[in-house]
């Protein structure tokens, strides 16, 4: 079982979440009643919709993690699942994403234009502590 399939299976057991076809058409999505939260694009690459407000709040920690790529202007972040601890981080961030959906949209929030996979930006990972 890959890290992505393990994470997807765990999220499928959470109340109020279900698996679906992602709007980008690639991979598997996890959605709540308020919309898409996670897109699993491969065995390792996952896009997570946090909202602009949540990204601004946690930007320093997200960048420091070494497994998260922030795309300017996107309410989605991309995680690279290389270890079991990355799955734990993803599950924690899904909780943050669910909480972020409870707030009214931020005036800075941009319209949902698709996940980062549609932006065509790939990972260029130098080392565990580097940013993409």
25-80 pLDDT, tens digit per residue, is: 888 999 998 889 999 989 999 999 988 888 888 888 888 888 899 888 888 999 99
Give the model confidence (pLDDT) of 11-21 as tens digits: 999 998 999 99
Report H helices in the chain: 3-12, 52-64, 84-100
Domain CATH number, residue 70 = 3.90.1150
Q: How far apart are CA 106 and CA 38, in angstroms?
A: 20
Three-class DSSP category at 20: strand
**Residue 116 within any structural domain of the chain:** no
**Residue 112 within any structural domain of the chain:** no
Residue 72 belongs to what domain range? 3-102
Which band of pLDDT confidence, cut at 50, 70 and 90, is reported for residue 82?
very high
Number of structural domains the chain divides into: 1
Question: What is the structure's pLDDT at 62?
Answer: 86
Question: What is the structure's pLDDT at 107?
Answer: 52
- The region that residue 51 occupies, defined by phi over 0 for left and psi between -120 and 50 for alpha, beta otherwise, is left
* Averaged pLDDT, 103-114: 57
C-beta separation of 78 from 44 below 8 A: no
Higher per-residue pLDDT: 12 or 121? 12
Higher per-residue pLDDT: 131 or 41? 41
**Residue 126 within any structural domain of the chain:** no
Q: Which residues pair with 77 in a beta bridge?
A: 48, 70
**Residue 86 within any structural domain of the chain:** yes
**Residue 79 within any structural domain of the chain:** yes
**Residue 78 within any structural domain of the chain:** yes
**Residue 127 within any structural domain of the chain:** no
**Residue 26 within any structural domain of the chain:** yes
């Amino acid at each position: 079982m890959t890290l992505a399939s393990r994470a997807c299976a765990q999220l499928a057991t959470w109340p109020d979440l279900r698996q679906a076809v992602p709007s980008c058409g690639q991979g598997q999505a996890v959605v709540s009643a308020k919309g898409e939260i996670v897109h699993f694009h491969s065995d390792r690459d996952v896009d997570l919709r946090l909202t602009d407000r949540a990204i601004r709040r946690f930007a320093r920690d997200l960048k420091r993690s070494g497994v998260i790529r922030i795309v300017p202007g996107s309410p989605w972040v991309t995680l690279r699942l290389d270890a079991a601890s990355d799955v734990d981080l993803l599950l924690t961030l899904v909780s943050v994403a669910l909480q972020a959906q409870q707030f009214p949209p931020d005036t800075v929030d941009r319209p949902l234009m698709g996940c980062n996979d549609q932006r065509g930006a790939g990972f260029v990972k130098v080392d565990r502590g580097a940013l993409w």
